[in-house]
């Protein structure tokens, strides 16, 4: 047996330290490699650290509240590197799930409409029996392989008491009486500081354009069932919007910059962040790296994965780093337009409003006609220090053009 020091692992290119929140084990506990043993907070996300070794934790080298540098020792583990390979419990769990799936395969009528990940027939059958909607099922954290919800996950969820629907807590009955003091949590404090800082650093200017989304809507309706059958998830409008933005950035690369006065840094990669509203009311922005190099199908899979893990607090720190441009799909809340605040050190952010059916003038060779079209307002906020109205306006118009000229015949 040997005593080894486990070090704080790397958590992304821009993260050099983190704050210790809580040990998930005690000194003297036996752990396996990848068991979650420590919860930490970075300036981007709270996350859990897994053990690097099989063995016994003999001593904590950091305590809750300590700030630990990346690469610094955090605990001592007594380990025997010559020990036999242990059974992988995750694989066992997955095999059990596959057996349960096979048993239930032929007797499950539950619809999978609205799902962003695969659910076994057994899990869907339990959901149907307990009247759990797909939206509620999507909010359950999965411990199976690739984040799948297992039988134990859904039964534990029912045992602990079902949660309210996502965001339901933000709508509540007003009760007259004394004022209530609510302490901001750490994430809300961080959001507050960053938003104030961004408005102080960057003079915000906004441009708007109304876009005809009819081609996009028709294409999505045409391929959504095919996409679900092929990939086991739904295709939302968000990956299509990201696709249009990434294409526009390639045409206007000076929107993909950062400012370090007196220098402007023209970024070599197109990494698009997407704002995700969390059930607790906070906001987080996972980043899709090299978005311009992905197909629509790849973007849809990535968007579903990041959004799901964001809502379940399962993101990795490096999945929140290195964004070069950000979008916010505020249409999901029924908003027609908005003026979002820039994510520093980026210089622009785009918001997409809800898609509405509207009467519109349609130009044809035979003359103008009135028809029903799917319309959406795009809002573009940009840093007037380095982005003038011409570039800001041309860029949002380019995104609009990409959506209006969407190829309705392309395959998924």
Give dist(CA 258, CA 218) in Å, integer.
37
Burial category of 205 from C-beta neighbours within 10 Å (exposed 0-12, middle 13-18, buried 19 and up): middle
Active-site option among 204, 290, 374, 384: 384
Token pair recorded at residue 11: 């958590």
Give dist(CA 81, CA 83) in Å, integer.
6
* Secondary element (H or E) of residue 382: strand 367-383
Give dist(CA 47, CA 21) in Å, integer.
10
HSE at residue 193, side-chain half, CA atoms within 13 A, is 9
For residue 325, how many other CB atoms are within 10 A of its CB? Answer: 27
Dump the DSSP string for 79-143. Answer: E-TTSPPPP-HHHHHHHHHHHHHHHHTTS-----TT-SS---HHHHHHHHHTT--HHHHHTSPP-
In a 3-state reduction of DSSP, which class is residue 253?
helix
Mark whether 384 is an active-site residue: yes
Give dist(CA 372, CA 5) in Å, integer.
67
Neighbouring residues of 112: CB distance < 8 A, sequence distance ≥ 6: 119, 124, 134, 228
* Secondary element (H or E) of residue 36: strand 36-41
- Burial letters 215-251, b for 16+ CB under 10 A, else e: bbbebbeebeeebbeebbbbbbbbbbbbbbbbbbbee
Dump the DSSP string for 156-218. Answer: HHHHH-PPPPTTGGGS-----SS-------HHHHHHHHHHHHHHHHS-EEEEEEEEE-HHHHH
Give the active site residues. Answer: 384
């Amino acid at each position: 047996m040997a005593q080894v020091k486990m070090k704080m692992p790397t958590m992304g290119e821009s993260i050099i330290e983190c704050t210790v929140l809580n040990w998930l084990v005690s000194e003297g506990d036996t752990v396996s490699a990848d068991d979650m043993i420590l919860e930490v907070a970075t300036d981007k996300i709270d996350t859990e650290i897994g053990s690097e070794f099989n063995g016994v934790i003999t001593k904590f080298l950091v305590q809750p509240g300590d700030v630990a540098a990346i690469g610094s020792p955090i605990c001592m583990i007594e380990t025997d590197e010559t020990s036999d390979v242990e059974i992988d419990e995750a694989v066992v769990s997955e095999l059990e799930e596959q057996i349960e799936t096979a048993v239930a395969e032929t007797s499950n009528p539950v619809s999978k409409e609205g799902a962003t990940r695969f659910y076994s027939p057994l899990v869907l059958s339990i959901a149907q029996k307990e009247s759990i909607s797909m939206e509620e099922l999507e909010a359950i954290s999965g411990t199976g392989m690739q984040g799948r919800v297992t039988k134990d996950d859904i039964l534990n969820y029912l045992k602990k008491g079902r949660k309210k629907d996502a965001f339901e807590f933000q709508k509540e009955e007003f009760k007259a009486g004394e004022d209530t003091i609510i302490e901001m949590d750490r994430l809300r404090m961080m959001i507050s500081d960053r938003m104030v800082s961004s408005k102080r650093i960057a003079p915000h200017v906004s441009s708007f354009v109304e876009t005809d989304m009819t081609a996009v809507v028709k294409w999505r309706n045409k391929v959504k069932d095919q996409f679900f059958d092929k990939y086991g998830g739904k295709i939302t409008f968000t990956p299509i919007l990201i696709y249009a933005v990434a294409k526009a950035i390639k045409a206007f690369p000076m929107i993909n910059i950062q400012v370090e006065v007196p220098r402007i840094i023209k970024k070599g990669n197109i990494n698009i962040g997407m704002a995700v509203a969390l059930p607790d009311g906070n906001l987080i922005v996972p980043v899709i790296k090299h978005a311009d190099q992905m197909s629509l199908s790849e973007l849809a899979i990535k968007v579903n994965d990041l959004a799901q893990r964001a809502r379940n607090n399962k993101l990795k720190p490096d999945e929140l780093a290195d964004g070069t441009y950000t979008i916010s799909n505020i249409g999901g809340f029924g908003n027609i337009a908005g003026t979002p605040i820039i994510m520093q050190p980026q210089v622009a952010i785009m918001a997409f409003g809800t898609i509405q059916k509207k009467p519109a003038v349609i130009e044809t060779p035979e003359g103008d006609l009135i028809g029903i079209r799917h319309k959406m307002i795009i809002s573009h906020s940009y840093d007037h220090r380095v982005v003038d109205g011409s570039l800001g306006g041309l860029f949002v118009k380019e995104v609009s053009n990409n959506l209006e000229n969407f190829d309705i015949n392309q395959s998924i």
